[in-house]
Amino acid sequence: MSAIASFPRLATKLGKAAYAELGRWMQDNVVAGNGIAIGRVGGRNTIGLDYFNLPPSNIYGAGIVRVQVTAIGEDYMECVHYDSINGGTGAAVNVAKPYLLQKAPFHAVQVSYPIAGGTQDITYTYDATYPEWKRLADDGADSETQVITPAYWTETAPPCLLHAVWWNMGQDDSSGNRIRFQDINSDARVWAQE
């Protein structure tokens, strides 16, 4: 039996007072940092991974984290770590938009789409005022204004929450810092006619 599995039995053998003392000892002596997070949930001490502060060599495969959007950019969003107890008060992190929602790969580029009997060429031009969420799609004959829907937002009530996964594809933010996470698009955001 693993030490983790036997821990609840230890509480039964030692009694509630000893179990509470062990919890106080953990709270006073186990130090957070280097990828370890310590908290309290429902009066119980918790120890877990702090995905935003893991050393880079350990973060691969860290899984999905939840973040709150604080600013929306053309290719990425500024976010803070979010948990259901403390809200959006955690570490700041940049989260890349899904590839198809980014501006850089598509701005002023003609994309050829296969259709029955050939291809359709569409050129995307991003809005000068709102390039982070609005663009013009033009095939030479017709054009339409498109927006990201459902929209991203920065208000805190309710917060715009994303699920992000570890991602390191060589993209940097405007300050030259590596973007470490990407929105997995669990809300199925797409470009749609305005």
Q: How does the average pLDDT of the chain come out, rounded?
A: 78
Residue 116 lies in a domain: yes
Is the pLDDT score of 44 beyond 70? no
Determine the structural domain holding residue 115 and report its residue range. Answer: 63-194
Residue 160 lies in a domain: yes
SS3 of residue 6 by DSSP: helix
pLDDT score at 112: 93
Is the pLDDT score of 103 beyond 90? yes
Residue 86 lies in a domain: yes
pTM exceeding 0.75: no
Looking at residue 159, the DSSP 8-state letter turns out to be: B
pLDDT score at 132: 95
Looking at residue 83, the DSSP 8-state letter turns out to be: B
Q: Is the bond into 56 cis (omega within 30 degrees of 0)?
A: no
Q: What mean pLDDT comes out for the span 79-89? A: 81
Q: pLDDT category, 60, cuts 50, 70, 90?
A: very low
Q: How many domains does the chain have?
A: 1
Residue 189 lies in a domain: yes
Residue 157 lies in a domain: yes
Is the pLDDT score of 3 beyond 60? no
Inter-residue contact 187 to 77 (CB < 8 Å) = no
- Sign of torsion, CA 186 60 39 182? negative
Is the pLDDT score of 23 beyond 60? yes
Residue 1 lies in a domain: no
Is the pLDDT score of 36 beyond 70? no
pLDDT tens-place string over residues 117-171: 999 999 999 999 999 999 999 999 999 999 999 999 998 778 888 888 766 666 7
* Beta bridge partners of residue 162, listed in sequence order: 67
Q: Tally the residues of the chain.
A: 194
Residue 76 lies in a domain: yes
